[in-house]
Each structure stands twice: as C-alpha cells, then as structure tokens.
Chain A
Amino acid sequence: AQSVTQLDSHVSVSEGTPVLLRCNYSSSYSPSLFWYVQHPNKGLQLLLKYTSAATLVKGINGFEAEFKKSETSFHLTKPSAHMSDAAEYFCVVSVTPGANNLFFGTGTRLTVIP
C-alpha cells in the first residue's frame, strides 16, 4: 500500500528564515512524488515533482525538495521565507505508471511571521 505522512500540521517561520516542511512516504514501488501548494480560497498549484531523475528537484518560487530513498523522505525546503509563501502545502504520491489517482498527505499549514 502507498501512503504519505506529513510530519507537521503547522509550521511557523519568520520572514527571511529557512523553511522545512517534512514528508515521508510509504510505497511498494518506486514512487512519483509531488508537492502542491494551496493558497487561501484557491485551487492547488504544483510546486515541484520527482519522477526518478535527479534526486534534488527544483520547483517554482525558490522551493526545492530532495528525494531520499533510504529515509523514504521528500522534504520541501526554501532558503528564505517570503510572506507570500503562507499557504497550505501538500505532499503527494503517485505510484506505478498504471495508478491514476494521487494520494495526498494531510497538509502542512505554513505561517510566515513578519
């Protein structure tokens, strides 16, 4: 079975400080992993995705994530938080080429303090 666990339901950082949002996955196969962001009253936007190419994936808005198979992790980072980063972030797994649905984590709400 496949699943994804976001270790923190809420993360609060000061503007200009680093962001770390943690995600662990469980999968019987080599997964594809995604991070999506949801701003208040908006739909979900793809930040970045890992599909077995480079283990360090760069996304939009300065975010990046590193796939670590030995730790079954796909943590999302950003060197310096901006006020506009305040949103809900979802770690998502899609397993096997034949699987069509995405499994979403429970989300991490990021608050950025001015």
Chain B
Amino acid sequence: DSGVTQTPKHLITATGQRVTLRCSPRSGDLSVYWYQQSLDQGLQFLIQYYNGEERAKGNILERFSAQQFPDLHSELNLSSLELGDSALYFCASSHGQGGYYNEQFFGPGTRLTVL
C-alpha cells in the first residue's frame, strides 16, 4: 500500500458526460501528479500540482482540468467524455516538487469506461 488513495475504483459513464476523479496523497506529500494509462497511448503524464498550484503540464486535453485543494487532495475533472477517454487514471504523490530525487508513489488507479 503506497498511502495514496483514489476514488472511485471504477467509473462507467456515457459519452458527453462529465466525471470527477479524486486523489488523496500520502501524508506529508505536497505534489500530486495525474497520469493516464491506455492501451494505445501507454502511460502518459497529464498534470502536476504542488502545494495548491499547477507546477507542470503534460499531454492534458483542454476538456480535462485539475485542481489541488488546501488539504492537498486533488481532483481531476473530465468533461465532454469520448470513447477514447476510457483508460486507467493514476494519481501519484511526492514530497517535493519533483524531478531527480522525488520518487513518486502511485495510487491504485480509477478505471474509467465511457460507453
């Protein structure tokens, strides 16, 4: 158990809908990262927040947004969902801002299925 929690575990929804994925980092970790894992794209970095502020952006679509709250939990919002958004979404956390020495600890993931 990494100490990172994600809810829900599974989510099934329809195209065009909007969903929110939630992540609680390990105690003491200030950074939260979101990743998408799909069969065709592999594991891709989406976005990072550090202590409430956006720190880095990866391949995140405009239909997706995220935020980190004062208690350091984070939410990833996915809107106007398409079939291709079906994937496993991982949250990870690290103590520092990232890079060399800040290993990331991954949550169990949320499996999103868009029908």
Contacts and interface: CB of A to CB of B under 8 A. Distances in A.
Contact of A100 (B4, B42, B43, B99): B99
Categorize the interface residue count of chain B.
Answer: 20 to 34
A32 B106 contact: no
A90 B42 CA distance: 10
B90 A101 contact: no
Contacts of B100: 32, 51, 94, 96-97
* Chain A interface bracket (under 10, 10 to 19, 20 to 34, 35 or more): 20 to 34
A49 B105 CA distance: 13
Contact of B105 (A46, A51, A96, A102): A46
Interface string B38-56: 0000111100101000011
19 contacts: A32-B99, A36-B106, A43-B2, A43-B90, A43-B106, A44-B92, A46-B105, A94-B100, A96-B99, A99-B98, A100-B48, A100-B99, A101-B33, A101-B45, A101-B56, A104-B42, A104-B43, A104-B44, A106-B42
